Amino acid sequence: MTTFVLVPGACHGGWCFDDLAAALRKQGHRVLAPTLTGVAERAHLLHAGVNLETHISDVLAELAAHRVSDAVLVGHSYGGMVITAVADRAAGQIDSLVFLDAFVPRDGESCWTLTTDEQRRWYTAVDASGYGVPPLPFFDERATAHPLASLMQPVRLEGDLSGLRRREFVYAQRWPTESPFAPTFERLRADPAWRTHSLDGAHNLMRDNHDDLVRILLEVARR
């Protein structure tokens, strides 16, 4: 049995992984899908101080509460920022990382520095609170505003990911405009330490290419 910890992207809760989690559990794996502070069903906790560090702490607390010692961390989109930092701080509890059309930051990078100008315009179109980034029209109807500070804050990393058993990047082919993850995909597919996959589907691969995504995750689970 593998313990998968699924971390959602901006504006989404752990429910965005419901179908994926069900498929993995059917194969005998344990799945945790936390919702990050200030988002979705935890939107009532959104305030100006919720940032990337808050979300890193959310996932570290999840690992501790469930006594996870060999997690496969899976991060979608913004969730890649979170799982990278968690793996850096709790390396002894992490087996592998899977980035689903996600940011893969290096020390000092942020979503702001890694994304496209189009995405930056979205980040700065904050809601009336001044610190919530509203969901985009094509997001799930349950999506809520996302903490702006978490998208702006640089990640702080002390080590690297070389000690992990596997590092995987899954790229979504069907962005309607320039994909903010294209440069990361090109960088990683040239790195022999990474395995990369390019799937037919839009950014929400959990919905658009469920079967291939399940296949990839089950392969990662094999020791």
In this structure, what token pair is assigned to residue 84? Answer: 């990278």
CA 92 to chain centre: 20
**Residue 190: Cβ-neighbour burial (10 angstroms; 0-12, 13-18, 19+):** exposed
Q: How confident is the model at residue 21 (pLDDT cuts 50, 70, 90)?
A: very high
The pLDDT of 20-25, averaged and rounded, is 98
Instruction: Report the phi/psi class of residue 28: left, alpha or beta, with left for phi > 0 and alpha for psi in -120 to 50.
Output: left
CA angle 170, 174, 175 (to 5 degrees): 100
Let me know: does 208 contact 172? Beta carbons within 8 Å.
yes
The pLDDT of 20-43, averaged and rounded, is 98
pLDDT digits over 47-57, tens only? Answer: 999 999 999 99
Residue owning tokens 């980035």: 99
pLDDT at 176: 85
In this structure, what token pair is assigned to residue 185? Answer: 């995909």
H or E element that contains 5? strand 3-7
pLDDT at 50: 98
pLDDT at 138: 86
pLDDT at 81: 98
Total residues belonging to the chain? 223
pLDDT digits over 78-126, tens only? Answer: 999 999 999 999 999 999 999 999 999 999 999 999 999 999 999 999 9
Active-site residue, from 77, 96, 150, 179: 77
Distance in Å from the first CA to the final CA of the chain: 10
pLDDT digits over 60-77, tens only? Answer: 999 999 999 999 999 999
pLDDT digits over 128-165, tens only? Answer: 999 999 999 889 999 999 999 999 999 999 998 999 99
CA angle 54, 60, 64 (to 5 degrees): 140
The architecture of the domain spanning 3-221 is 3-Layer(aba) Sandwich (3.40)
Pick the closest to residue 204 from 1, 4, 18 (CA basis): 18
In this structure, what token pair is assigned to residue 92? Answer: 């002894």
Pick the closest to residue 206 from 169, 172, 175 (CA basis): 172
- Asked if residue 177 has pLDDT above 90, the reply is no
Residue 77 annotated as catalytic: yes
Whether the predicted model's global pTM rises above the 0.85 cut: yes
Question: Which residues have CB under 8 Å from 165's CB, separation 6+?
Answer: 95, 96
- Asked if residue 223 has pLDDT above 80, the reply is no
In this structure, what token pair is assigned to residue 10? Answer: 């901006």
pLDDT digits over 209-219, tens only? Answer: 999 999 999 99
